[in-house]
Amino acid sequence: MSSIFWLIPISLVFLGVAILAFFWAVKSQQFEDLDSPARHILLDEVTERWQQER
């Protein structure tokens, strides 16, 4: 159980990396449009299937 003494700090490093990554994503405008990407995936799937059927 003494492994937590170094496992937890490592997880904190990951926490820092995750936060930095999130900040970068916000800055590069990835959170501007939260609605279209959801429909996008469906659209691509539908069109592929539809084109295969023809």
Partner 1 sequence: MRCYHCQLNIPKGAHYSVMIEGQPRAMCCPGCQAVAQTIVEHGLVAYYQLREQPAVSQAERTTEMSVDSALFDDPGFQREFVFCEEGSDLRQAELIIQGLHCAACVWLLEKRLKSLHGLQEVSVNLTTERARICWNNQRIPLSQILLAIERLGYQAHPFTAGQQEQVRQRLYHQQLRYLAVAGFGMMHVMTYAVALYLGAFQGMEHTHWQFLRWVSFFVTTTVIVYPARPFFANAWRSLCQRQLVMDIPVSLAIGGAYAASVVAVWLQKGEVYFDAVCMFVFFLTLGRFLELRARQRASQIIERLRTLTPLTATCLIDGEERVVAVRELEVGDQLLVKPGETIPVDGRVLEGVSSVSEALLTGEHLPQPKSKGDRVLAGSLNMENPLIVRITQLGQQTVLATIIRLLARAQAEKPRMAELADRVAGYFVGAVLLLAACVMGIWWYLDPAQAFPNALSILVVTCPCALSLATPVALTASTNALAKLGFLHTRSHVLEGLANATHCLWDKTGTLTCGHFSLQQILPCRPINKAHILAIAAALERTSAHPIAQAFHGLATTELTVAYTKVVSNQGVEGQYAGECYRIGQPGFVQQLAAHTEPLTAPSGEGIWIVLGDKQGPLAWLQLTDTVRSEAAATIKQLQQLGLHVQILSGDPSPQLPHLAKSLGVSSAFGGVAPEQKVAHLRELTRQGAVVIMVGDGINDAPVLSAAHVSVAMGAGSDLAKTSADAVLLNNDLALLPIAIRWARKTKQIIRQNLTWALFYNVLALPLAAVGWVPPYLAAIGMSFSSLIVVFNALTLSRLPIEKRD
The residues binding partner 1 (CB under 8 A) are 1-2, 4-5, 8, 11-12, 15, 18-19, 22-23, 26-27, 29, 31-36, 39-40, 43-44, 46-47, 50-51
Q: How far is the CB of 1 from partner 1 (least distance, A)?
A: 6
Kindly state the smallest distance separating residue 29's Cβ from partner 1, in Å.
7
Q: Are 31 and 25 in contact (CB under 8 A)?
A: yes
Quote the CA–CA distance of 49 and 41 in Å, as a whole number: 12
Q: What is the rounded distance in angstroms from the CA atom of residue 22 to the CA atom of residue 29?
A: 11
- Cβ of residue 54: shortest distance to partner 1, in angstroms? 8
